Every structure is written in C-alpha cells, then in structure tokens.
Structure 1
C-alpha cells in the first residue's frame, strides 16, 4: 500500500517524503527493531523513549513548518524509542551461543506460588529468535543460567554449575 502511495505522489516532494518516513518506520531495521517505550517484559516505562515518541508526534502536529521545513532532523529523536525485537544469547566471552528457548504468549504470574510457567502456547526455537508483540521467551534447558531476569535483546548466559547431563 505504501509503495502504491509513493508511486502516486512521485511528483509532490513533501507527500513523498512522508510516505518514505512511513515506509522506514514500518520496516524498521529490516524488521529487527520496534518502537516502544516499554522494556523488561513491558514492566518498566522508559521516560527517554516516551519523550522521543511524544517529541516526534508533537512535531508532526505542524508538519509543514517542522518536519517538512528546515527542522527535519527532529525525526532523529525517534531513535530513543527503538529497541531490538530479537533475542540473541551470548556466552561470557560475548560469542554467540545457540540455545533452545520457548517462545509464547506472556502470562501474568504475579502472586502465584512456586515457579509457574510464564508463557503459554509456546514453540521451541534455537536462538537467535524474533519476538512478536506480547511474546516472552524462557530457556528450554537448565544447562545455562541467564545473567538478566528478562530474556529480551542481548542476553549473557553462563554455564550452570549444578547441571549434569543424563
């Protein structure tokens, strides 16, 4: 649809610029990035990321004199809200480490006793993995221990000293 719009507006530079911006935001980082002010499994809100989104939206209220005028560089502020959609696991030497992970819809487990499953309807993949909106990942094996509490972005894993292969 955006490709059709760009061919329709090929003679009007301002409209074509807006369509190109929309295409860039849709295909952000070839699909590897997302715009979101939330991080840590949508538990924490980043004020910088929210400020970047609100600043660009506010500048778009008067596009003719800001974005389409001489202040087009305001679009760079949207970088504050860009986050990776992928899960990439690395070892302690920062070398890529393919491990099996379960990816599924996130489930709220606050207040439940024990160690309940945090995802439902999961599929097992090997990292690196793309996470869609509302999805969460957990390690499928006890061979490694993550150094972070949430599995998103780049995660450093260390070997579990208590793990014994059967």
Structure 2
C-alpha cells in the first residue's frame, strides 16, 4: 500500500465520525459518476458561488435523494424511474416552483408538507413517491411530465402568437 492510499484511508476513517456511511457512499458515487465537483460551485445549489440568480427552479444539487438510493438494490425499475425524476426535480426542469411542488405532493397525499424551501420539498416528495407501488408511481410521474410538456407547449403557443403580432406590427 502506498503512502498516498494510506492517507486517503485515514481521511475517510476520520470522515466516518462526522458523516453517515450512506452520505459517504453517495459522495463517492457522485465523484465516480460525475467527476470531482467544481470548487467554485456550491454543492447544495449547483450554482457558482457568489452568483445571484432566480430562486425559481434553481438546481439543488447533483445528488440523489436518500429514498432513491435505498431502492437501488431492492427495486431496480423503481430506482431507475425515481432517480431520473429526482434529477429533473433537482435541476428545476419539472415542478419548477414551490407552489407546483406543494400542489403535486398534495394531489398524491393531502397530508403532504413540503417544508419552507425547495431543498426540503424535493426529498420529501421523492420519499412519498418511493413509498408508492410501481404502477401508481409510473402514472403519477407521467402526469407530472405531461403537465410540464403542456406548459412548454403553451409557452410555445404564446411565443408563436407574440411573433405573429410583432411581425404584423412591423409591416
């Protein structure tokens, strides 16, 4: 064993005192899948440090919710579907704001409490989805994706109308 490897082992052993084994595994998985995080990028938000930006639909992190990680060995199909949906949620591509997250969660379970921030709401929603049977999960996820597609199509329709009106004015 080289000196470098033994230093890494000692550092990981010290980290086990302050972090759970699941957190360490998730961090290692992220490093192996996506490379080492950019030092100028905030780990929680995915944005560059010091940058402003909109709070609406901001990315949370490149991580995966604990509920998804727990499914990896036991239910690979559910894991695959939920990890993709979790990634879309965290990037802000689906259910872009707190209101839509809250409404979606409460449409599944009236007692759903998303919390105050998006970073609280996404893991809670994913946990709610992870507890569902696969057939219901597929239906619910597809409905969220369809709603997003319809919203995007509506935006395209508005854009087409705006372009038409602008072209009419310039003549």
TM (norm. structure 1) is: 0.29
Q: Between Structure 1 and Structure 2, which shows a larger proportion of helix residues?
A: 2
Which structure has more relative contact order (CA 8 Å, sep 6+)? It is 1
Normalising by structure 2, what TM-score? Answer: 0.29
